[in-house]
Amino acid sequence: MAKILLVEDDKLQAKAIKKSLESKGFEIIWAENGKKAIKAAKTQHLDIIILDFILPDINGDEICRLLKHSEDTRGIPIIALTVKRSTEERIDGLKAGADDYLPKPFSHEELIARIFASLRTKALQDELRRMNQQLRDVLTKVEILAATDALTGLSNRRQFETLLDHEFNKTSRYESPLSCLLIDIDNFKRINDKYGHQAGDTCLKEIAEIIKNNVRKVDTVARWGGEEFCVLMPQT
C-alpha cells in the first residue's frame, strides 16, 4: 500500500488523520513541522504528501516550492490542507506546487477519495516517465549504432565523414593544422583465403584495437571499409 507523509502540527488532528488512513491500509509517516517534512521527503520513498499549509516554522507554500524544485521530490503529489478559504489563497497554494486542495474542516472520506485520485494520476505519470525513458534509451542506442562499425566498435565511415567535415571547417576558420591517416592492411585477402573470414574478422578487430591504443583521446579512429582505417588528428 502507498506510503504517505502527513505534515500536521496539531497532534490531535494528526492522530485522527493517521488512524483513519491506517485503517485503509496506508503507511503513514508523521512530521509535525516543515523541517522534518522536508527531511522525510528527501530521505524516504513517498507516494503522496498531505501538507498542512499553516506550520510553526516554514509555511506550506515554501515547502511546496522546495519540493517541486528538487528532482528527487517533484513527482510526489501534494494535497494541501488549510483553514484558508479565499480563492486567492487557494490559487497561491496551487501555484506553489500543491496538486490538490482540501479546506479544513474536511471529512476523512473526502480526503481518502482525493488520495486515491492523486495516486491514480501519479501512477499514470510514473508510467509515462518510464516509457519516455525507455524511448530515450532506444534512441540513444540507435544513434550509437548508426555511428558505429558493428565489427570493430570504431566510428563508421558515415560518422567519420561528418567529423571530417566539422574539423575541416574548424581548421579552415582558425588556420590550425589537421592531419588524416589512411591505413590499409597489406595482404589481407590472403588471411581470409587461407584461414577463413572469421580469422579475418579477428584480425580486423585486433588491428582496430592497436590503432585505438596508439592515438590520443582527441583523435578519431574509424573503419573506412573492408581492411581500411582512418585516423583524424586535429591540431597536428
33: CB partners within 8 A, 6+ apart: 7, 9, 55, 56, 57, 58
Half-sphere exposure (Cβ direction) of 191: Cα atoms closer than 13 Å: 14
Question: For residues 220 and 204, is the Cβ–Cβ distance under 8 A?
Answer: no
User: 223: which strand partners?
Assistant: 229
All 3 cell numbers of residue 14?
Answer: 494528526
Q: Is 143 a catalytic residue?
A: no
Give CA 169 to chain center in angstroms.
34
Single out the catalytic residue among 8, 32, 167, 227: 227
> What is the residue-wise DSSP string for 82-150?
ES---HHHHHHHHHHT-SEEEESS--HHHHHHHHHHHHHHHHHHHHHHHHHHHHHHHHHHHHHHHHB-T
Dist CA 143 CA 159 (whole Å): 10
Dist CA 131 CA 73 (whole Å): 19
Dist CA 53 CA 173 (whole Å): 59
* Residues annotated catalytic, as ranges: 227
